[in-house]
Each structure stands twice: as C-alpha cells, then as structure tokens.
Amino acid sequence: MSPDNATSEDPGKVVIFDTTLRDGEQAPGISLDAVDKLEIAEQLARLGVDYLEAGFPVASEGEFEAVRAIARGVHGPVICGLSRTNLADVDRCYEAVRDADSSRIHVFISTSPSHMEHMLKMNEAQVLAEVRSGVGRAREHLADVEFSPQDATRTPLDFMLEVLAASVEAGATTLNIPDTVGYGIPWDFGDLIAYVRREVAGDYVISTHCHNDLGLAVANSLSGVRNGARQIEVCVNGLGERAGNAALEEVVMALKIRADQFPGLETGVKTEELSKTSRLVSRMTGYQLQWNKAVVGRNAFSHESGIHQHGVLMERSTYEIIDAASVGQVGSQIVLGKHSGRHAFSETLEKLGIVIKGDALNAAFARFKELADRKVQLTDADLEAIVAEEVGTAVESGYSLEVLEVHGGTESVPKARVVVARDGKRSEAVSEGDGMIDAACQAIRQATGIKATLTGFNVSSVTGGIDALGDVVVQLESEGVKVSGRGVSTDVVEASARAYLAAANRMVRARARSGSLDGTRRVEVGP
C-alpha cells in the first residue's frame, strides 16, 4: 500500500477513488479502447486522484491489455483492477495491475437477496465461502485489497456485517459499501456507514460507492464521510450506469468549500485541473455536459439576471461560492493564430499539460495550421480538441481524408464526393443522403468499404462564437464491435466526416486484432 495514500492511520485524508474508466465507461454508448483509456488515466494522474480503477481485466483481452498499459505507464495513483471472487478472475486481475508502482485488487460479490437469487443462484453460506476464498487469494497477491458487497443498501444488515467481517478476516484492507442501485437516503446511508465502523472489528478504511438513481449520490457520499468513511468512489462528470455515479468534481469541491462541515479533512486533488479533466472525458466518451452542470458546466459561472450581474461585478462572492479559477474555469490566456510557429504551439500544449512529440506533434501542428487559416484565434480549449482528434486518429494508421465536397439545399438532393487515401492508394466515392452530413458519411462508407451501423452522433461547439470549432463524436457498430471517432472543424459537415472516418479506422484495427482491443461491449458488472 502506498504511504502517500490514506489509511486508517491517516484519518485526515479523504481518499479519492476514481472509477471513470471502469464504472463510468459502463454508461450506455461509451466504448473506450486502450489509447483512449490511457489518455484519460494520464489526466486523472495530473488531477491527483489517489486510486484509479482502470477496468475489469477478465472482461476481455482488450480490457486486460488496457488495464496493464495503464499499470505500466501511469504514475502517481494506485492502479486498481476489479475482480469477481472467482480465483481465476482474481489471478487475472493481479496479472493486469502487478506492474504498477502501487496496485490494488478490488473484489466484489452480490449480497442482496434479489441478486443472490436471480443472478448468483447462491445462498448465504455459499456467498460467504466465496468472499473468504476470493479476498484470501487477492491478499496472497497484494497487501492492498478492497472488498465490496454489491447492492449493500438492499442487503439485510446482519448478513452484510457477517460478510464484511469475513472479508476483513480474509485480508481486506478497504471495505466499500456500494449503493449499487441508488437506493440510499443521506441520513440513512450515513447511519449505515457509522454502524459498520462500530460493529466490524479490524484495521481498514471504509469507503462509499453511490449511484445517482434518486439524484443523491453526492449527498450520500458526503454523509458517509461525515460518519467515518475515508474513501469516496467517484466518476468524472458523474458518469456511470443508468443515472451515473457520484461526480468527482462535486464531491471534491463540496469538501473544499464546506470545510466547516468536514473539519480537518482534505483531498489531494488539484482542483485547477477539474475543468480540463471534465472536458477531456466529455470529448472522449461523447457524453456532452448539460450547461448547468455544477462546478464544470458552461453556465456554472454565468449570470443573466441583472441583480446577479450587478452583485458579481461589485464582488464575485456575492453570487459565486467557488472561484472559477480554482477549478480551471478561467478565460483563455492563450491566443494562437495562423502566424504561430511549431515551437510556440508545442510550448503552449506543454503549459496545458499535453506532451506529444514526433509524428503526433507534426500531425497536430499541421491540423492546427489548417484550422488557423479559417479561425482568427484558437483558444486552449480549441487546442485540446485538435490534439484529441489528431492523436486519436494517428494511432489508427488507416484512411485519411484528402477531399470532401458537398452540395445541398432546399431544392436539391444533398450529395457528397470524398477521396480517401490509405498506404498511398486513393479511393473516390460519390453518394447522396438525407442531408449533407449523411451524404458525406455514406460516401466514406463506399470509399472505404467498411460496413457499419451509425449508433451515436453528438455535435457540440468547443468554444463560443460564430467561428467556433465544431466537435463531433460518432459511434459505429458492426458484428458486435463498437467503436467511436472524433472530428473537429469550423465546418460541422467536415467535422462529422472526420469523426466517421476516425471511427471507421478504429473498426479496421478492431477487426485486424481479432479481439485484442476489439471494442466489444464488455460485461457490465461491479459495485
């Protein structure tokens, strides 16, 4: 166990356990490959999370490789993998995380009557045996072991206490109490945490994992902290199954702003990185934030009411309890244009915490110059979007878009002509569609020969203004394989075509690798 992370010997530290790459990715329509997950993991490390749950290694070969890549390449957080109690699962999880600077195995099993009857087909005695076996095997591998009784808030209290005690006896060092279906109410959930602390003997950290089905995930998590929990499991932007998980940014800022309610407690999160982390996760997953999202939403520091505007102009704190700069919500101080050089471009990226070199830098700089000819100034948010697109595209080494021509209007059928190139060979196609975007995507489909169904399409502006970059994320599916692609441009049709082509390239790679990073939808399990 890393001494930099909180244990029962460091009661003043609230450990931030991020599960964006595991539970967050289980949100419908999200499918990240190893490259995507690694990019997000590196930003989470810069953000300063204590634990990073990288995935569920036994789910697929691609998932195993992604978790192992994060364990080997990301430094700072303890890298955690999720595992069922099955011994082969535990061993596989250990193999995925063993190369990290610090590692944890997170073992779980369902304990509620509903889950035991309908999912596990087990009785209480069998579940207890599984807990002892699975946690015991994890402890043979590592000193840092977390245990979760899935659906804890609908589990009879006596049985849950028996299960938790068994896990501690078997070697668990963190006990997580998952509100798996968002059933908890803050005062009741807080009482549950206090009761577990009081009744389960041993040296362990108690943790919360709250879902948002009733909109109470953050409130329940904070109530847990008030009653002795010293780890909170969270997702960036509140991602997760159904209504999502407790939002990292909301939990962290609540603890910081209302320190009077949590005396002596603090996290190690660098809050200035919150907005950038939020934007990155939003772009990578295709989940656009609602404008009024707390802490990181577009309107979080906007004021339209005249009374509010007057108050904020006189003194910011009249209507803002959070300093925008403290979460990275500041107006851009970085202004690059078509006359900017490679050195300035590279230095600006480094100041944003983005370090790319070689071919990736060349590709991003070329795309920057191309877009700078169309837009007078590019902000830091624009640059992040450009790099995210180019890095995500470069790793595919597939088709590139050389020509895009579209024609449409109210009195003509939309038509598109594209020319794509791969390995020095050019392919041209012309197609009609319901609109210019549809026509462009149909033409790309013909030119590449890649047949797939469009299952998701999201377009948003990177910044404000009439010359804002359009940021498009598309999701394609073919024979059970799901992939996503991103494109940015001042022209939303071009951005859509680039996103579609990026996804098509990923489909090529997924098929070529025959299941290793195949993008197949993983089994959705866990606390």
Collapsing DSSP to helix, strand or coil, 457 comes out as strand
Is 70 exceeded by the pLDDT of residue 513? no
pLDDT confidence band for 390 (50 / 70 / 90): low
Phi, psi (degrees; rounded to nearest 5) at 488: -130, 145
Angle at 488 between CA 482 and CA 493, to 5 degrees: 85
Which residues does residue 433 pair with via DSSP β-bridges, in sequence order? none
Choose between 495 and 185: higher pLDDT.
185
- Give the pLDDT confidence of 273-298 residue by residue, as tens digits: 998 899 889 888 878 788 788 887 76
Within the chain, what is the greatest distance between any pair of CA atoms? 76
Q: Taking a C-beta distance cutoff of 8 angstroms, is the pair 414, 384 a contact?
A: no
Q: In terms of Cα–Cα distance, which of 513, 499, 485, 504 is closest to 31?
A: 485
pLDDT greater at residue 65 or residue 326: 65
Selection from 254, 242, 190, 244 nearest residue 220 by Cα: 190
Question: Is the pLDDT higher at 42 or at 466?
Answer: 42
Say if CB 116 and CB 110 are below 8 A apart: yes
Per-residue pLDDT, 331: 44
Residue 352 CB partners (closer than 8 Å, separation 6+) = 276, 334, 380, 383, 384
* CA pseudo-torsion sign 391, 393, 395, 399: negative
Q: Are 379 and 386 in contact (CB under 8 A)?
A: no
Q: Is the pLDDT of residue 239 over 50?
A: yes
pLDDT tier at 30 (50, 70, 90 boundaries)? confident
For the segment 411-454, what is each residue's pLDDT rounded down to a tens digit? 889 999 999 998 889 999 999 999 999 999 999 999 999 888 88
Asked if pLDDT for residue 459 goes beyond 60, the answer is: yes
In CATH terms, is domain 15-258 a member of 3.60.20.10?
no
Alpha-carbon distances, residue 218 vs 99, 232, 436, 447 (angstroms): 33, 10, 43, 48
Q: What is the pLDDT of residues 186-234, one digit of tens each?
A: 999 999 999 999 999 999 999 999 999 999 999 999 999 999 999 999 9
Mean pLDDT of 340-352: 76
- Distance, in Å, from the CA atom of 129 to the CA atom of 424, rounded to the nearest integer, reads 60
Dihedral angle of Cα 139, 140, 143, 147, to the nearest 10 degrees: -10
Residue type, 343: H
Contact 262, 226 (CB under 8 A): yes
Amino acid (one-letter) located at 273: E
pLDDT computed for residue 395 by the predictor = 45
Q: Which residue has the higher pLDDT, 10 or 523?
A: 10
Residue 300 has pLDDT above 80, yes or no: no
Contact 16, 230 (CB under 8 A): no
Q: What is the pLDDT of residue 327?
A: 73
Domain ranges of the chain: 15-258
Least confident segment among 1-10, 33-42, 106-115, 362-371:
1-10
pLDDT higher than threshold 60 for residue 515: no
Contacts of 231 (CB under 8 A, 6+ apart): 6, 14, 15, 16, 17, 50, 51, 174, 176, 205, 206, 207, 208
Provide the pLDDT for residue 70. 97
Q: If pLDDT is split at 50, 70 and 90, which confidence band does 150 have? A: very high
Q: Is 481 a residue whose pLDDT tops 70? A: yes
Query: Residue holding tokens 């539970």?
Result: 23
pLDDT for 38 equals 93
d(CA 50, CA 71): 14
Answer with the residue of higher pLDDT: 484 or 404: 404
Q: Is the pLDDT of residue 315 over 60?
A: yes
Q: Comparing 430-439, 485-494, 516-525, which segment has the lowest mean pLDDT?
A: 516-525
Cα–Cα distance, 221 to 227 (Å, whole number): 10
Q: Does residue 4 register a pLDDT over 60? A: no
Percent of residues, the chain, with pLDDT higher than 70: 84
The label of the residue with tokens 């790679």 reads 509
pLDDT in tens, 112-146: 999 999 999 999 999 999 999 999 999 999 999 99
